[in-house]
Chains A and B, each alone.
Chain A
């Protein structure tokens, strides 16, 4: 052990996290700036109090870069795919087609505020589901506050395995545990959260009467989405977990609307008109990018010879054993291994290239559009990348200097073994609320939660599942995401009222996961 546990040493170890929390919540700094200052705090505490030397800090930072590259490969290519599909009109056309299929306001709210946001989270994420669907909900007659709250709460369950599972990829990278070990509990807890997410969307949009009407469809569709996500995630296809769940949910939802009780005549005035640039376009062809992604991801992951062929080039760096002057040791070994050509990011890139060529040939994307697509990708990608680099750097320094272990030791000493599984999702949610992303929450707290679980003798995959599920549900409440949603429905400057509404609903979804984790911990 590096430092003995006391309130003073625990507070010192907590200081970098506290700096990030205060800067983001009180001073409303962005993730990259707050992460940068948090990184300085971590470096100073690591050197002065935890005995970290120059070599340890350099290697910790290099490991952080490898971890970051693994995640950034997915983030950048997912952003590229989303912007190519958007340029081809796919998002506008889905938004127009879905509400035209039913006149039942409860089913409309579920279709857009629960199913479509979940599907978009699977494919894109990064605030896109709320940004795209909140205006559609306003178009259906909901107030802007309701629209942002519905779109935010509706997709929380899909965040960890959404964005091509970048947050889950981070969980694996930080803990060093394989996806096969981590996926079952994470997918189970997120699947459980899917049901209250749908019910809350119905409640926010249509009141208690709407909630009662939504009980049957939410139970059936939620079960289907949760099971599909679970099966994909636990069979090595976690990158498609939320996407597959979202697609299955949309299909079952469309079938459900054929039922006489839920069909109802569509009100023409509720259906937004087709945009001028989408005239003559086919919905199915505009969705080619996503269909192709599903085919490529399944093919590369499931066809062994293809996977073996593409997995021949792997990048990593080897690191020596590292020790602080106080005796905290990190074993020698390789850093994060990046499987360049079979990486989820590579699969996304192949999809981007083929989709772009097809869209150009059929005239869905105009000549010269590539520049504006790339411009949008760079604008979104650079900011989030800088934030991730800073946060991962901070977490790596904390991990290698023994600060994370000390934090975990303090938590395990202060919280009893019986209660900890119910607390773990709230820790994940806090991290996501602070940093604005499930991904960053896993970077900050996954190692801490793993250490706490080991010290308390709890199931590590369960606690890490609770961490990422809490992070997913907490990320949709984060000021950074709420600001994006509010800006799309004319609520800029009124984020506080949306956040107050969201926090109560978020407590329900996170509380459900906490209760589930507690019950499961009695069994495992």
Chain B
């Protein structure tokens, strides 16, 4: 039980940092995808798009 409580506390402390990370990702990834698409790098664009989608899942999880 103690460990569970400690994990919850750790998670609570981690959330603000995760949110900041998500914010940075959600701004930079689409911009990177724009330049990748403009350069004709379709594979790279797909990679960035998938990462962005994962970050959106992270946003729903973190809240």
A residues whose Cβ falls under 8 Å from a Cβ of B:
29-30, 32-33, 36-37, 39-40, 54-55, 57-59, 61-62, 64-65, 68-69, 317, 378-379, 382-383, 385-386, 389-390
Contact = CB atoms under 8 A, between A and B. Distances in A.
B48 to A, nearest CB: 8
Contact of A29 (B16, B27, B46, B63): B63
A54 B46 contact: yes
B60 interface: yes
Contacts of B34: 58-59, 62, 317
The 4 closest A-B pairs by CB, nearest first: A36-B60, A62-B34, A36-B59, A33-B63
A322 to B, nearest CB: 12
Given A39-B56, A378-B20, A65 B27 contact: yes
Contacts of A59: 34, 37
A36 B63 CA distance: 9
Contact of B33 (A29, A30, A40, A61): A61
Taking chain A's interface residues, is the majority helix, strand, or loop, or is none over half, making it mixed? helix
B31 A62 contact: yes
Contacts of B37: 55, 58-59
Given A65-B27, A379-B16, A386 B59 contact: yes
A54 B49 contact: yes
B19 A386 contact: yes
B63 to A, nearest CB: 5
A33 B22 CA distance: 12
Contacts of B46: 54
26 contacts: A32-B59, A33-B59, A33-B60, A36-B57, A36-B59, A40-B60, A54-B46, A55-B37, A58-B30, A58-B34, A59-B37, A61-B30, A61-B33, A62-B30, A65-B27, A65-B30, A65-B31, A379-B16, A382-B19, A383-B19, A385-B23, A386-B23, A386-B59, A389-B27, A390-B56, A390-B59
Given A58-B30, A64-B30, A390-B56, A382 B63 contact: no
Given A54-B49, A389-B26, A37 B33 contact: no
Nearest to A387: B59
Interface in B11-59: 16, 19-20, 22-23, 26-27, 30-31, 33-34, 37, 45-46, 49, 52, 56-57, 59
A332 B13 CA distance: 45
A115 B23 CA distance: 35
Contacts of B33: 58, 61-62
Contacts of A68: 27
Contacts of A385: 23
A154 B26 CA distance: 35
